[in-house]
């Protein structure tokens, strides 16, 4: 069931394609990135993961080595065009529930518009924690139609992420959590 759900989600984004995705979602995504990057203040970062990177919109906002992963080839093709313009950026076709990285690699992880599209959000967050260095800053959004503040907070706590700040901006469709990876996945 989980693989079928993932194929359906990837297929719908592939069918939409990067150009149409950006036309349809750019304003909302950019608003989330603005809130996250202005509030996160992570300082210098060596290595950043954008888990569910889509078309790579976050890439231009970061001054660090960037790795973007997504399951949609249609969106990744647009993201790859961006990486040609910017140094120290890499785009990888990968499943958020089986990240192809070693333990404790990333200084920061962004998972924007991701967990509501995964069949097992707990597993997705476990993978994020596994790939994050202890003390890494982790920014995660959750669609309000899918999660309440309480259910989202409980999910984060059970995964080994320490909530620093929860934002529920009425102008955005998502809840935004700024967290710290404090060890092992739940």
> Is residue 168 one of the residues assigned to a domain?
yes
> Is residue 173 one of the residues assigned to a domain?
yes
- CATH number, domain with residue 93: 3.40.50.150
> Is residue 147 one of the residues assigned to a domain?
yes
Is pLDDT of 115 > 70?
yes
> Is residue 186 one of the residues assigned to a domain?
no
Is pLDDT of 169 > 90?
no
> Is residue 86 one of the residues assigned to a domain?
yes
Tell me how many domains the chain contains.
1
Residue span of the structural domain in which 22 resides: 2-181
- Flag the least confident range among 41-50, 51-60, 67-76, 149-158: 41-50
Select, from the ranges 23-32, 40-49, 81-90, 102-111, the one with the highest average predicted confidence (pLDDT): 102-111
> Is residue 171 one of the residues assigned to a domain?
yes
Please choose, from the candidates 57, 98, 70, the residue with its C-alpha nearest in 3D space to the C-alpha of residue 10. 70
Q: Which residues contact 29 (CB under 8 A, 6 or more apart)?
A: 54, 57, 112, 113
Quick: pLDDT tens for 133-161.
999 999 999 999 999 999 999 999 999 89
The pTM for the full model equals 0.89
Quick: pLDDT tens for 6-50.
787 777 776 777 777 777 778 888 888 888 888 766 556 689 999
> Is residue 30 one of the residues assigned to a domain?
yes
């Amino acid at each position: 069931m989980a693989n079928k759900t993932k194929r359906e989600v990837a297929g719908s984004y592939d069918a939409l394609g990067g150009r149409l995705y950006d036309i349809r979602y750019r304003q909302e995504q950019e608003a989330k990135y603005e809130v996250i990057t202005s509030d996160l203040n992570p300082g210098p970062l060596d290595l950043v993961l954008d888990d569910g990177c889509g078309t790579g919109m976050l890439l231009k906002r970061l001054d660090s080595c960037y790795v973007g992963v997504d399951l949609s080839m249609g969106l990744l093709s647009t993201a790859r065009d961006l990486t040609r313009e910017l140094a120290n950026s890499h785009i990888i076709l990968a499943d958020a529930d089986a990240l192809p990285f070693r333990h404790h690699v990333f200084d920061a992880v962004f998972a924007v518009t991701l967990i509501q599209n995964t069949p097992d959000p707990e597993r997705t967050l476990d993978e994020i924690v596994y790939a994050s260095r202890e003390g890494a800053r982790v920014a995660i959004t959750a669609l309000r139609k899918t999660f309440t503040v309480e259910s989202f907070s409980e999910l984060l706590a059970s995964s080994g992420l320490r909530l620093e700040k929860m934002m529920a901006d009425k102008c955005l469709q998502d809840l935004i959590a700024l967290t710290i990876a404090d060890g092992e996945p739940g």
